[in-house]
Structure 1
């Protein structure tokens, strides 16, 4: 790609307090086998040396945009989109990584399927040091409707999606910030759950389809320093998404909101288990079942496993630790076999 041509893909990467990770994230973009892209880095007033690390890269495809105040992921992504040129917009959180074929596969997927507005991939989990734990996010890939998105967010994380510009333009709205009207795509009033709100709005208000591809092309970093208190802040943000959705899609919300809340609570219970907070996991599991007891029938394996893990972690944490290690190995092998089957 010449420095004057319009790239096919714009990669949007918000940067905030990721000095330890951002160089590897940028390198994973520059190592893409598909190289017709621009990388737009948004400095969201990072307090560490993250931007100094970014500035060491001299690739002409990289552009750094600076915020004068911290805007959060939604605000940074909006800034990135407004400064982008590509036909397709890819998002990468600056502590995650991409497989070298990530952009190639998504460009192929979107080019061959003009009805698809949002393409996403499966993700492989890595730890804080970038080491794979051999487990994967294994979402549903096809026939995804708005109800499914509300309940489970199959995209999974902020580094998995690649979205057509036409699709983003279809959900764009104006927002006033510091007396300036800005074109927005993600809701800048949300500090969490901004991705599910955006994806749900695509599904509810446009005709664009959302579809995944089977390869684990995103390497999603698990935060080893997470706090259980953050889970309740995430739930609070999710409730704001539910309220917003209720205002513009009341019939949809009346059918799906309580069910979706149950699945969100179950998801948070599983996060509490990962954070080794058995008490929070049990509490969140009870709330999930209270909202939708039939989740035991609809998804028995995942629901019963979550309940069992929550109580085992709370009551017998040492035994849980031993079982978790062996179970994760088995689950990882089963997931890898499923991926290989889907690719064959």
Structure 2
């Protein structure tokens, strides 16, 4: 199936064009029905202390007022690309294809950054040639933008491929900045359009991040290293992609199926532990959404799959199990009171 050609729309046609050598970092921002949040996301990029960037906004065929808001920004560093809907992976692929930067950063249009984010990642990558992906700690925020108690913290040093698969330390798609040359190691042609180059797998409408990171680590031999700075703010929306646990689970399993195709021994060795961690994550998400029965189901499945989650992360695992049991017995009233606490707040992995 051939796709319609991509249409280009400059945010300001009269603005001077940057030379390809100018931007050091290309920021790729897919936009699809995010009128409530997109202005905040864009402004957080324009407010960066590091200014040598381009912001590529990919209109992925939404039907709300998001793009009217986008076109209200008057900055020559912004380029708008319009395409038919291809999902988050397809929008990112379009952005990468038309990027000019040495480094690629992704910002989902319902998230935001601290003003020092790009500067810190640029320094990290420029001074550490062995690092292929630099990613930050992420503070979770509510739908209204207020910070939550949960922080996704990076590990220390270079992460091994099994750690990427088991725990996804990157955390979310708005956290990393990646060398373009590293991304190109895993580029492939779209199976239905051989003229179109892809980095993310467009058959995934969820789990496209972890699918790409695992492939980048195993096939691309990429080195992942985090920085100890909370400069990414990841929004957890009840009606967003992150809310549908069943679809998330199906897409994660699809990622594992793909992994078994190119790294069968790796998948066989680490699957059960990775599956247990993933099930525990779904249990915690179910608790945050008020579904204690689902939480207990997922936590019981995690326990049967691998006891390693209790050995290596005993506090989080036992607390999740206890919470699922407690709220199943005492109901939603107790759950609503407890949802504000750190241990079971939204999005904790």
TM-score by length of 2: 0.89
User: Are the aligned partners of 1:228 and 1:277 in contact in 2 as well (CA < 8 Å)?
Assistant: no
Matches of 2:338 and 2:214 in 1, distance apart?
36
Structure 1 residue 231, shift from structure 2 partner: 0.4
Q: How many residues align?
A: 327
Match 1:15 to one of 31, 52, 55: 31
User: Are the aligned partners of 1:143 and 1:211 in contact in 2 as well (CA < 8 Å)?
Assistant: yes
Match 1:85 to one of 87, 92, 100: 100
Q: CA RMSD in A?
A: 1.9
Which region of structure 1 is more displaced relative to structure 2, 311-320 or 6-15? 311-320
Question: Where does residue 67 of structure 1 map in the other structure?
Answer: 83
Task: Show structure 1 runs of 5+ residues with no match.
Answer: 332-344
Question: Where does residue 130 of structure 2 map in the other structure?
Answer: 115
Matches of 1:55 and 1:87 in 2, distance apart?
26
Matches of 1:239 and 1:308 in 2, distance apart?
26
Match 2:146 to one of 108, 111, 131: 131
Structure 1 residue 315, shift from structure 2 partner: 1.9
Match 2:43 to one of 27, 32, 37: 27
Describe the shift of the 1:227–1:20 C-alpha distance in structure 2 as closer, same or farther (beyond 3 A).
Answer: closer
Q: Does 1:43 align with 2:59?
A: yes
Structure 1 residue 328, shift from structure 2 partner: 2.2
Matches of 2:241 and 2:108 in 1, distance apart?
19
User: Are the aligned partners of 2:133 and 2:179 in contact in 1 as well (CA < 8 Å)?
Assistant: yes
Question: Where does residue 270 of structure 2 map in the other structure?
Answer: 256
Q: Does 1:140 align with 2:149?
A: no
Matches of 1:227 and 1:142 in 2, distance apart?
30
Match 2:237 to one of 223, 227, 241: 223
User: Are the aligned partners of 1:10 and 1:85 in contact in 2 as well (CA < 8 Å)?
Assistant: yes
Deviations 1:286-333 (A, max 9, x none): 1111111232122111110111111222222323333443x42999xx
Structure 1 residue 227, shift from structure 2 partner: 8.7
Structure 1 residue 258, shift from structure 2 partner: 1.6
Deviations 1:149-174 (A, max 9, x none): 11110000111011100110011111
Question: Where does residue 308 of structure 1 map in the other structure?
Answer: 322
Describe the shift of the 1:156–1:330 C-alpha distance in structure 2 as closer, same or farther (beyond 3 A).
Answer: closer
User: Are the aligned partners of 1:127 and 1:224 in contact in 2 as well (CA < 8 Å)?
Assistant: no
Matches of 1:228 and 1:116 in 2, distance apart?
29
Question: Where does residue 328 of structure 1 map in the other structure?
Answer: 342
Q: How does 1:142-291 map to 2 (within 5 A)?
A: 142-177=157-192, 179-225=193-239, 230-291=244-305
Matches of 2:301 and 2:147 in 1, distance apart?
32
Describe the shift of the 1:54–1:94 C-alpha distance in structure 2 as closer, same or farther (beyond 3 A).
Answer: same
Question: Where does residue 13 of structure 2 map in the other structure?
Answer: none
Matches of 1:193 and 1:65 in 2, distance apart?
24
Matches of 1:329 and 1:147 in 2, distance apart?
25
Structure 1 residue 229, shift from structure 2 partner: 7.6
Matches of 2:167 and 2:151 in 1, distance apart?
15
Higher helix share: 1
Matches of 1:310 and 1:330 in 2, distance apart?
10
Structure 2 counterpart SS, 1:116:
coil
Matches of 2:37 and 2:339 in 1, distance apart?
27
Which region of structure 1 is more displaced relative to structure 2, 36-45 or 262-271? 262-271
Which region of structure 1 is more displaced relative to structure 2, 303-312 or 156-165? 303-312
Structure 2 counterpart SS, 1:328:
coil
Q: Where in structure 1 do 4 or more consecutive aligned residues deviate above 4 Å?
A: 226-229
Question: Where does residue 340 of structure 1 map in the other structure?
Answer: none
TM-score by length of 1: 0.91
